[in-house]
Structure 1
Amino acid sequence: MNGKATTTRTRLDRGRSALGPALELVHTGRAPTRAVLTAELGVTRATAGAVAAELEALGLIRVDSRPGAAAGSQGRPSHRLAVDESGPVVLAAQIHADGFRASLIGLGGRTVATAPGCTTVQADPAQVLGEVVAAGAQLLRETGRRCVGAGLAVPSAVAEPEGTALNPLHLAWQPGAPVRGIFAEQVAEAGIAGPAFTGNDVNLAALAEHRHGAGRGAQHLLCVATGHRGVGGALVLDGRLHSGSAGLALEVGHLTVNPEGRPCHCGSRGCLDVEADPLAFLTAAGRDPGPEVSLLQQSRDMLRGEFGEPAVRSAAERLIDRLGLGLAGLVNILNPDRIILGGLHRELLQADPDRLRAVVADRSLWGRSGGVPILPCTLDHNSLVGAAELAWQPILDDPLTVLV
């Protein structure tokens, strides 16, 4: 190694500890300029400039060569920072009851390309994950982008450290399917570079919303969502997912909100999972679910287009009341500073926000004066973005990983 290369490596090693925090600040939009980066890192302007330059040399961010001032700001103009849109990507995939989706996602949560996906999920997880990875590999060939990892979101609790899907209730998979191992093996066999990760879909939705969406800035973020079937929950504490001792925390779908309600897959009765998901909404409105589109889309269409119909409004109010009971219990236990709702729950909040907030306030210990903000999720396909966040995490921890 020549002297210049040795000097460069020494300088990179010395600044290594600041590269990760700096990249995460740009990745999450919290450092739009070098001045903000300097303040957030608590370093000198020269150090922040050197760190930004190193990240740019790695092909991860762009530094505007001409400093500019934000509208209405005072003081010295600062160089603008942004993720490099031509930089590396990760493969992100999501499995749900009505099919799968595979995308290439860059830093900043940007979707670069998406495969059409499928409409059915086979009973053999290896077959499904093979199709997912093949779709992702095709996207990489078509785009010519460099891949540095892969992430998968599944509608099941994922046990740690084994990476098994314990209860894929709305898929035909056997409980305990080793999805992380299968996915990692398929990714490696396809020649896709980087490590492979797997997580619960609602956990990953919460992570994505915390970094890029409605949960940004929250210290104790509670996310509750219903997708195509069932109800899930997640908690982000100080920027990190709280997954419990074995990855099984926040299985909120199995909170009982109606003791005389429908039988649940878990063996109990009246759980959120069967009282506040799209199938429950369609059933409460007296509608027979059709096969044309997903249950979630049918529910959305009905809520948006027919909310004025008495049967639809009554069904919505019933689900809002059940959801509110569950949220109130979670508020009493977890004391979050923000709640975000996804899937059909987001639609219910937007249809009748006052009713949901009133139910939560009336049933929470602190009453209306201490009501926690309840907001809709803002990201499209947030579980997919969250799967990408899993794959990006090693790069955020150590950006020099991209040199390997």
Structure 2
Amino acid sequence: MNGNGAPPRAGDANSGSAASARTRLERGRGALGPALELVHTGRAPTRAVLTAELGVTRATAGAVAAELEALGLIRVDSRPGAGGAQGRPSHRLAIDENGPVALAAQVHPDGFRAALVGLGGRIVATAPGKLTVSEDPAQVLGAVVGAGAGLLAETGRRCIGAGLAVPSAVAEPDGTALNPLHLAWPAGSPVRAIFERCVKDAGIDGPALAGNDVNLAALAEHRHGAGRGAQHLLCVATGHRGVGGALVLDGRLHSGSSGLALEVGHLTVNPEGRACHCGGRGCLDVEADPLAFLTAAGRTPGPEVSLLQQARDLLRDGYGEPPVRAAAEELIDRLGLGLAGLVNILNPDRIILGGLHRELLYADPERLRAVVADRSLWGRSGGVPILPCTLDHNSLVGAAELAWQPVLDDPLGTLGTAA
């Protein structure tokens, strides 16, 4: 009998099966974003793991995976993969290598670069870096967006949006570069609005967002690199000039009330030290960046390559020379003092270091860890793991994460109904 008490009609069983499938899909659509983020961050390599992580039935997880595959975001490999529940084989889940990309742009004192970045933090293509940065933000951002548009034209990839990394605190909600100290840009430059206009003028669809370069590096490392799995992740890094920091709490950047948190470069680590651009003296920004290292080692920077690359090369090739080793030890001690103060305040469960700081950690890991342990309250009770960043171009990958976030939040709403 059917629901009206009448005998069942031919086709009712098929109708009920279709309705059941629709119900599973509707139930699963709310899980599309969480499911995509699990695959994006490498935490759901199979459909069985996806089922367990989402807390849904196998049928619902299958419907969710099929929907994401239809959107061109992931691939579902039906060949047996890792063991599923109760030993059953499960389908593999992977990012669709031919799927859409985000345009990522980075500006720093020694140049700028554009890239296309897919899901999973994979860099698909990069444009050659430029070594000159104009005093006009609109000119620079127009050039870097133009380079990105060229990559899109060459590859024919669909673009879901654009993200920009800049060496400045980016104040919210207006998206202004509050203190681009190492660029010749005016303080308060409306970088997000300029970037949005450049992206629109280039005919690129999707949102255009901007953030601080070290914040974005930390976000990328937390999702795809050395910070994966940390709950309270502190990232400290040298850019091409200066020192920046970022904190990721439970997967989200801690940016403060208006985007200005964790300006760690302006911690004083040497009260009698170098004058800082901020008006202070002995800040980490000028005591532990590439220029500080080159100066301490008695080297005059050249114009051929970036300061960061010159410092890296000197540390790698000249560490056996007494002046270079002494300069490295001086920077390690300054950096350690800064990290110890941050450990006392923030109590992170992991610290990751980028830029020149990563190379200093490689050069003498025991010295740096000893300084942090000796000067921090919590370091003495067991220490905080200090690890090198592992991603190449992590600020670019992080800039792409800004653009990918709306898709991760709502795949259907941003990309449309799957075919």
Asked if residue 293 in structure 1 is aligned to residue 305 in structure 2, the reply is yes
Once residues 172 and 388 of structure 1 are traced to their aligned partners in structure 2, the CA distance between those partners, rounded to angstroms, is 25
The equivalences for 1:19-58 within 5 A come to 19-58=32-71
Structure-2 residue corresponding to 1:105 = 117
Q: Contact 1:231–1:273 (CA<8 Å) still a contact in 2? A: yes
Task: Name structure 2 gaps, 5 residues minimum.
Answer: 1-14
- SS of equivalent to 1:262: coil
Q: Contact 2:238–2:244 (CA<8 Å) still a contact in 1? A: yes
The equivalences for 1:298-309 within 5 A come to 298-309=310-321
Moved more, 346-355 or 109-118: 109-118
The equivalences for 1:198-277 within 5 A come to 198-277=210-289
Q: Contact 1:92–1:150 (CA<8 Å) still a contact in 2? A: yes
Once residues 11 and 195 of structure 1 are traced to their aligned partners in structure 2, the CA distance between those partners, rounded to angstroms, is 31
Structure-2 residue corresponding to 1:78 = 90
Asked if residue 372 in structure 1 is aligned to residue 378 in structure 2, the reply is no
Structure-2 residue corresponding to 1:182 = 194
Q: Contact 2:46–2:81 (CA<8 Å) still a contact in 1? A: no
Aligned residue identity for 1:68: G
- How far did 1:389 drift? 0.3
Deviations 1:201-235 (A, max 9, x none): 00000000000000000000000000110000000
- SS of equivalent to 1:78: strand
- SS of equivalent to 2:124: strand
Deviations 1:292-342 (A, max 9, x none): 111100110011111111000000000000000000000000000000000
Aligned residue identity for 2:336: G
Moved more, 109-118 or 265-274: 109-118
- SS of equivalent to 1:187: helix
- SS of equivalent to 2:31: helix
Deviations 1:104-154 (A, max 9, x none): 110001111111131100000000000011111111111000001000000
Structure-1 residue corresponding to 2:409 = 397
Once residues 131 and 75 of structure 1 are traced to their aligned partners in structure 2, the CA distance between those partners, rounded to angstroms, is 54
Structure-1 residue corresponding to 2:28 = 15
- How far did 1:11 drift? 6.5
Deviations 1:168-204 (A, max 9, x none): 0111100000000000011011110101100000000
Structure-1 residue corresponding to 2:340 = 328
- How far did 1:12 drift? 5.2
- SS of equivalent to 1:305: helix
Q: Contact 1:277–1:344 (CA<8 Å) still a contact in 2? A: yes
Q: RMSD value over aligned CA atoms? A: 1.8
Once residues 178 and 283 of structure 1 are traced to their aligned partners in structure 2, the CA distance between those partners, rounded to angstroms, is 33
Once residues 82 and 262 of structure 2 are traced to their aligned partners in structure 1, the CA distance between those partners, rounded to angstroms, is 44
Matched-pair identity in %: 86
Aligned residue identity for 1:219: Q
- SS of equivalent to 2:233: strand
TM-score (norm 1): 0.96
- How far did 1:67 drift? 1.9
Q: Contact 1:16–1:398 (CA<8 Å) still a contact in 2? A: no
Q: Contact 1:100–1:121 (CA<8 Å) still a contact in 2? A: yes
Question: Aligned residues, how many?
Answer: 399
Structure-1 residue corresponding to 2:5 = none
Aligned residue identity for 1:306: G
Structure-2 residue corresponding to 1:92 = 104
- How far did 1:65 drift? 1.6
Moved more, 114-123 or 243-252: 114-123
TM-score (norm 2): 0.93
Q: Contact 1:157–1:165 (CA<8 Å) still a contact in 2? A: yes
Deviations 1:344-366 (A, max 9, x none): 00000010000000000000112
Once residues 309 and 368 of structure 1 are traced to their aligned partners in structure 2, the CA distance between those partners, rounded to angstroms, is 32
Structure-2 residue corresponding to 1:318 = 330
Once residues 373 and 96 of structure 1 are traced to their aligned partners in structure 2, the CA distance between those partners, rounded to angstroms, is 29
